[in-house]
Structure 1
């Protein structure tokens, strides 16, 4: 019996020893795998970046990427390769990572400076202008521009799904029903081109008359493309409407590109999508018709009157004409954020493309090459109208005339 017990004890000891060895080897393998995984993670770490214009790369912190799709920036032999952050990151060696970091943190030269100087007698006023618009601690914050207390009596789900390539956000007045219908019947009727989805949304503010409210509610139910804010709709409130559009987009839309328009502007949707696909605008950038060397209007009877209390400087910095500009979710998010700490002015195109863009680091690029000037004789060259993307009509000289060519444009592009 003693011998049998000793044999059982021996076999039990051997089994326990084998189990111990197995557990030790398993623990070592797990530890080694964890170390290898960490090493691999180090190898694939890259610097996230966004593109300012076509050549300028700006470093961005890792993590906390927005849902609007901030991209990776990677430079190799002066060639820019872009990937979505949701894709698998490429393996990068330590030496390659160092050179990539150097490329990102040292922006390449660009032909269009981010902030062209505002020169008066040889002195750049840009820093002074930027400082002037900073809200002081004792100043009252605007209920909408600074505090963002927007409420929507009418809303739209036109681009909530995230499949929208381009959203065209149009500033419209409540009474401009005919203009909105003209847009719906023409370029607003195209929902997809080159497998890219497009949608149109109209931005309006509040009205007093019940009849107008009922008409807008009916229009909203019919088309589902109206957003109405909670401040009076007026020309002087265009800045508030602009920030309202940014607020709405932040919480209600997931499009990849934004085209802001006035409701009397004609767009060739085929060419604007072609333009986006060829230039690939992303990051902190606005494409627009740039004006340089303009002076603020001191004429009190002018609709563009800018009192000295609002803008005390004799020259305006280069700014975007507000009738149309192409931008990105990153740009609007950045400008929306800095609007909290900057006092407003009545000229919304100057406020957005100068004051907010300057504070947010948004670069302006001129896209005059895609514009069609309204001709003096009001007779459009159809080939040019079908070759370009946006009609510029600063004095409302042509009005709805370019819209009359829509059926031919549509036929030529879809057949």
Structure 2
């Protein structure tokens, strides 16, 4: 047997111990590497019996910018598809007048043109107006012309024709303007914008125009008296509504969601029961209307157009001239002191008119 010297044997054991330490360290490093690799590979290499839920990270998408608002109109352009489309009307659009008085306004050159939006079937209401305030065609030496603005009773197949009854009424009174849009509450903005279109193209020598609802008492004498002292340019007045809250209740008749109009209050607007304006405004309003989506609340839309133009509405010279609702009781001289008052129903105008005529004969 080979025997080593004490010094050689000592060196040999030292090498063996070093080899064993190196081997143990290698095994430890291999175990750690295997563990790390296994943990990093679980999603593609799960152990038997494990359910591995992959980490779901959505791909990056560029943020969608907020809807652009027409400044200073405040009407947003809703994203497509349009769940809010019912809050807007089809305007601008090329509508046509199927019943018209193309030359009358130019020939008469009235001081004041009065436009009354009314549904086609309300012939009785038109006759009531013709027999009351609509019969005053010369007031304080000024010519006043009246027209009724109608849409269609229903949408046909693209061959809309006026009803025979409307044609006969037009031939008799020469005061009917009918266009080829569906006449409905939701389309009052269309009717109002068509009023601006017709006046701007047919009444070149007129100073003022008025839009007035059919269920309104109208003292045209007081209006003409006021207008004789009023500005002739960039002028609109009536019952001016300021700081009106936008109604967010879906059950409201005038509900408007924030996606359609993000502001909490509307800009000043003339209440639609009756407002008057100088004849330099219709063309300006029509020009800016191409930049503002037409909301279905017609008087609010007029206010938005005026704000876009930067033209302030004018309050009447005194309060109580334009009244939003008929009071429960009226004073002895009430009807001769106002310009407009909304009645409870259109047929009430006949009785109110008799009271007004009596008051004009009294000491009021």
Using the size of structure 1 for normalisation, the TM-score is 0.61
Q: Does 1:348 align with 2:298?
A: yes
How do 1:286-297 residues align onto structure 2 when only pairs under 5 Å count? 286-297=236-247
Alpha carbons 2:332, 2:359 under 8 Å: kept: no
Q: Does 1:302 align with 2:252?
A: yes
Unmatched 5+ residue regions in structure 1? Answer: 1-126
1:380-395 matches, within 5 Å, as: 380-391=330-341, 393=342
RMSD: 3.2
- Aligned position for 1:150: 95
Q: CA deviation at 1:143?
A: 9.2
**Cα deviation per residue 1:387-407 (whole Å; 9 max; x = unaligned)?**
22111x3xx536543542424
Alpha-carbon contact 2:76-2:259 (below 8 Å) kept: no
**1:340 is paired with a residue of what secondary structure?**
helix
Change (3 A) 1:372 1:135: closer
Bigger relative contact order (CA 8 A; separation at least 6): 2
Deviation at 1:361, TM superposition (A): 2.9
Displacement of 1:172 after TM fit? 0.9
- Provide the residue aligned with 1:237 in structure 2: 187
User: Match for 1:397 among 344, 347, 359?
Assistant: 344
1:179-328 map, 5 Å = 179-208=125-154, 213-254=163-204, 255-277=206-228, 279-328=229-278
Q: Distance in 2 between matches of 1:305 and 1:143?
A: 15
Contact 2:109 2:203 in 1 (8 A): no
The structure with the greater share of residues assigned to strand is 1
Query: Does 2:321 align with 1:370?
Result: yes
Alignment of 1:323-342 (within 5 A): 323-342=273-292
Contact 1:281 1:327 (8 Å CA) reproduced: no
Higher helix proportion: 1
How far, CA to CA, are the matches of 1:169 and 1:198 in structure 2?
Answer: 11
Q: Secondary structure at the match of 1:364?
A: coil
Equivalent residue for 1:57? none
List runs of 5+ in structure 2 lacking aligned partners. 1-68, 83-87
Change (3 A) 1:128 1:220: closer
Q: Which residue of structure 2 aligns with residue 109 of structure 1?
A: none
Number of aligned residues: 281
- CA change 1:286–1:217 in 2 (3 A) is same
TM-score by length of 2: 0.69
| Displacement after TM superposition at 1:382 (Å) | 4.1
Deviations 1:132-156 (A, max 9, x none): 43879x999x996234x12111112
